[in-house]
Amino acid sequence: MLFINIIVPIFIIIGCGWGLGRYFDVEQAPLTTSSLYLFAPALVLSALLKHPINSEHALGVLLFMVIYMVIMLLLAKATCRIASIDESSKPALTLTTAMMNIGNFGLPLSYFAFGEQGTPIAVLVFVLFNLPLGSLAIVIAQGKKAKFTTAIINSCKIPIFHAVIIALFFNMLHIELPLFLLRPLDLIGQVAVPLMLIILGIQISRTKWILPIKFMTAACTLRLVIAPVVAWATCRLLHIDGLYRDILILQTSTPSAVLPLLYALRFNTRPDLVASTIMVTTILSAASLTVLLYLLPYLP
């Protein structure tokens, strides 16, 4: 039932996006812009205003993010060496294994799995993991010439972070948003969840397949098999349990992120490999995430 009730709805919506992209001349840019600058910030703001996050829990998630990212980056580097991945493909492997789809896939997945109760936590994870997605991913894609400080500044310009700051400010001062403002904000935010999946489906429909066995095996194993183990071990290390643990493990076990593909295209970092890995890990995640959802209640 977990597969039918949680995984299938996600892939139905992705399939709708795939159909739009495959059979209609749908402009993806306006949808992406609307999601980035309107719907996603509204979701973040409404969720954090309705369900304030404990500062201690936020610190735990931040520490988790740092440790998790360091481990995944080291594993990606080690895998490139062990599997003898060629130099031009190394950044592509790192991008597709260390950077997971915490937004387009992770937020809807957490919503279907845990409902509104888990939404604020999923939003917090989404926001914090956008730091490496918006900065470190650019550095990896661009190579040694990239300026990390510039990447950080650019990532902080994303409206999602502004929404977090506003929500934290309101929560700190115990200010409640009037109902006539909270209701439209809440409705606009609800659009973000299906729209993210639609955008993912459109992107997949326009991806050309390229399947080098060695690269794809390494990338899929790291992203879908090793990543959940790393997430679980990190939670154990930081003594994170309950709903926070389950959402952290689930969201960081999602397929390869879509955002790094934009950087790979911009800096010509084997975008063919990045796009194909996104597509393959997304398809295979139907099985890996179903297994993970069954295992989560039994994890120590």
Domains of the chain: 2-298 (1.20.1530.20)
Average pLDDT on 51-57 reads 77
CA separation, residue 25 to residues 19, 20, 282 (Å): 11, 8, 23
Interaxial angle between packed helices 259-267 and 90-98, expressed in degrees from 0 to 180 and rounded to the nearest 10: 160
| Burial class, 243, CB count within 10 angstroms (exposed 0-12 / middle 13-18 / buried 19+) | middle
pLDDT value for 147: 66
pLDDT value for 144: 58
pLDDT value for 293: 95
| Higher local confidence (pLDDT), 264 or 92 | 92
Of 145, 104, 40, residue with least CA distance to 260: 104
As a whole number, the mean pLDDT across the chain is: 88
Residue 83 contacts residue 222 (beta carbons within 8 Å): no
Average pLDDT on 46-69 reads 87
pLDDT value for 68: 97
> CA neighbours within 13 Å on the CB side: how many for 121?
26
Does residue 257 surpass a pLDDT of 70?
A: yes
Range with the poorest average pLDDT among 21-25, 80-84, 157-161, 219-223: 157-161
pLDDT value for 254: 96
Sign of the dihedral defined by the CA atoms of residues 245, 287, 218, 104, in that order: negative
Q: Would you call 100 helix, strand, or coil by DSSP? A: strand
Instruction: Report the share of the chain in percent with pLDDT over 70.
Output: 95
Looking at residue 257, what DSSP letter applies? -
Instruction: Report the share of the chain in percent with pLDDT over 90.
Output: 49
Contacts of 180 (CB under 8 A, 6+ apart): none
Encode pLDDT of 116-161 as tens digits. Answer: 888 889 988 988 887 787 677 777 877 655 566 766 676 677 787 7
d(CA 39, CA 272): 29
| φ, ψ at 100 (rounded to 5°) | -105, 165
pLDDT value for 176: 86
pLDDT tier, 94 (very low <50, low <70, confident <90, very high otherwise): very high
| Burial class, 115, CB count within 10 angstroms (exposed 0-12 / middle 13-18 / buried 19+) | exposed
pLDDT value for 226: 98
